[in-house]
Structure 1
Amino acid sequence: MLKRNIRSIIVLSVCICCVINSCTSKKKQVVFDYGTKNDSALFYFHKGWEHIMDKGQWTLSETSFRKAHAHDPNFFVGLSLVGRISGNLEERIAIKEILDTQKEKLTEDQRLLLDVYLLNIDIMNARSQSPDKTGAIVKKFRALSEENYRTFVHKYPHESYIKAEYIEVLHARYGAQQAIDSLQVLTSQEEIEEVAFFKSYLASLEAAIGNYDTALSYADEVVAMHNDTTLAGPHATYADIYFKMDSLSLAKKHIDKAVALDPMHIIAQGLKSDIDKRLEE
């Protein structure tokens, strides 16, 4: 009963934000510049999000985020995403030090994102340096990211990739059904058709609650959206669904393909480890 009430309160909160956003967006669509006026920096910044969220192209995403920062060295939100995706501990530490000294220069809205991304970097660094401290940082990260993303999405409802990360946080904190409910409230059908992440994430969420046919249908639609067999993302989605179905041979086939297509796909690497472990049992 308590869990159901909490879920209802969260959905109501999301709905209120969306009603407000709907009224304001009819007047004027508010576009966020993320802290750079450089068109090339902003182009590669958005391209980085597209690569990683829609297509599962972690390698190309890192390249794009690095290009974004190269075009504007004072683009600190962009630099934070280099820190989030870098596999080099020394580089992450150096980026974190730069951002800690520069963060007071950012606007309130930029800080909504940067503060979350800094905790993201802290989590990655803790896993390498002090694994026993990771859990506490993750708990702090989830609480702050829910609060900050909710505020940001309320002000900038058309920023789809931040909205996507907000849905991921709600999933982590409250479960798959809550994430499905919130995604349906926060996004329009048009947005779901345009942003592949939402459809692929719906596939994973539906699989998590046992709706496997629906999940596979969404995954098929993602493949049709991309029409590109070289993408790691769709294979990772299929692998996740089949793993939840306990169809381990199919899960293994797809996850091996995903990792082969993009060895930097950290989520696929983690899923591959889980699948291989289950197969060994």
Structure 2
Amino acid sequence: MTRIPNWGSLRSLRVLALSALIMSSVSPAAANTSLYSYGGVNDEALALYRQGWSEILERGRWAEAERLYRAALVLAPDFVIAKSVLARMTDDAAEREALVHEINRSRGRVDVRGQLILDPYAMTLTLITARESGATLRAGFREDLTNLAIANYQKFIEHYPDEWAVRIEYLEWIHAKQGPGEALRAIEAMKAANPAHGARLSYFPASFYAEIGDFAKATEEAERFIRQLGPGDWPQAHYIGAFIAHLQGDYRLASESINDALRLDPQHIIAQRLKVEIEKALNDRSLQVETEEPEDS
């Protein structure tokens, strides 16, 4: 008889991630019916682009996503939005600069609805290049980017509600501006409009619940997400376990899990950032123990 893990245990969450290879896959939701054409890009290139988003947001395989975006651009060299995503991912500053030049030269070819997602992508690239070069951005740039992204993505998913990856990006910007509580309320609003729109939100509901301190709900959502991933050992499963463990203060478990995520995909940018936070927490705890004076006997 199969035993159901106790999801109050963070170690059970890690066990589920490690045993995903033998788990049954959850049946996918009904096929999407309201999708953007991305300016009539050929079907094969568009399929590669969409799969790239699945690799990033669901499986957590950034290296594979980069490969897919590059393959899409071989098939469709004028796929401007795909170029903007690749430009954000590459760690080659010279390549990013060249891609930004191509994007700026070709932006006029993107239709009005495509501009809704391209404009925030382009501003994000400005932020990245400024950070790399040490340039100073005008006052209010980040706030303007946040507000533009929220407004544009909201309009986009009103037209194309089955564009699940853009829904997730919308939630990320809501979270950036207003915090996890507001992001969770946005999810509830999506589900109220269409229950299917709450079915493919990756690990984000789990992370939002963890941030507000509802760890029981966070582990419940993490369980659901990992089971949806189906068979395989996916970086994202380890990442969400590390995220929850970190917020609960179990830094050693968090370290084990984040190392597993990065072992599977060293290019997982979000996992790299979390690893830095976890290592700092472990170091701070170690220093605290070293500096504590023993009690007088």
TM-score by length of 2: 0.80
Relative to 1, partners in 2 of residues 1:199 and 1:89: Cα closer, same or farther, differing over 3 Å?
A: closer
Q: Does 1:272 align with 2:291?
A: no
Which residue of structure 2 aligns with residue 213 of structure 1?
216
Q: Structure 1: how far apart are the matches of 2:195 and 2:125?
A: 33
SS at match of 1:36: coil
Which residue of structure 2 aligns with residue 18 of structure 1?
none
Q: Which AA in structure 2 matches 1:62?
A: E
Give 1:102's match in structure 2, choosing from 89, 99, 106. Answer: 106
Relative to 1, partners in 2 of residues 1:236 and 1:35: Cα closer, same or farther, differing over 3 Å?
A: same
Larger Rg: 2
Relative to 1, partners in 2 of residues 1:139 and 1:29: Cα closer, same or farther, differing over 3 Å?
A: same
Q: Does 1:63 align with 2:67?
A: yes
Alignment of 1:95-134 (within 5 A): 95-130=99-134, 132-133=136-137
Q: Does 1:91 align with 2:95?
A: yes
Q: Does 1:177 align with 2:181?
A: yes
Which residue of structure 2 aligns with residue 190 of structure 1?
196
Alignment of 1:1-12 (within 5 A): none
Q: Does 1:204 align with 2:207?
A: yes
Relative to 1, partners in 2 of residues 1:135 and 1:48: Cα closer, same or farther, differing over 3 Å?
A: farther
CA contact (8 A) 1:176 1:206 kept: yes
Give 2:148's match in structure 1, choosing from 131, 144, 147. Answer: 144
Q: Structure 2: how far apart are the matches of 1:106 and 1:125?
A: 22
Q: Structure 2: how far apart are the matches of 1:140 and 1:62?
A: 28
Q: Which AA in structure 1 matches 2:260?
A: K
Task: Name the structure with the higher helix share.
Answer: 1
Which residue of structure 2 aligns with residue 11 of structure 1?
none
Q: Structure 2: how far apart are the matches of 1:166 and 1:52?
A: 15
- Give the number of the structure with larger relative contact order, counting CA–CA contacts within 8 Å between residues 6 or more apart: 2
CA contact (8 A) 1:126 1:134 kept: no
Q: Which AA in structure 2 matches 1:236?
A: Y
Which residue of structure 1 aligns with residue 246 of structure 2?
243
Identity %: 27
CA-CA distance at 1:60 after TM superposition:
0.6
SS at match of 2:203: helix
TM-score by length of 1: 0.84
Q: Structure 2: how far apart are the matches of 1:168 and 1:93?
A: 25
Q: Structure 2: how far apart are the matches of 1:135 and 1:249?
A: 40
Point out where structure 2 has 5 or more consecutive residues left out of the alignment.
1-31, 285-297
Point out where structure 1 has 5 or more consecutive residues left out of the alignment.
1-27
CA-CA distance at 1:29 after TM superposition:
4.6
Alignment of 1:245-260 (within 5 A): 245-260=248-263
Q: Which AA in structure 1 matches 2:116?
A: L
String of CA shifts for 1:83-117, please: whole Å, max 9, x gaps.
11111111111111111111112211111111111
CA-CA distance at 1:67 after TM superposition:
1.1
Q: Structure 2: how far apart are the matches of 1:110 and 1:74?
A: 14
Which residue of structure 2 aligns with residue 3 of structure 1?
none
Moved over 6 A (4+): none
Number of residue pairs matched? 251
Q: Structure 1: how far apart are the matches of 2:282 and 2:138?
A: 28
Of residues 89-98 and 32-41 in structure 1, the stretch that sits farther from structure 2 once superposed is 32-41
Q: Does 1:262 align with 2:268?
A: no
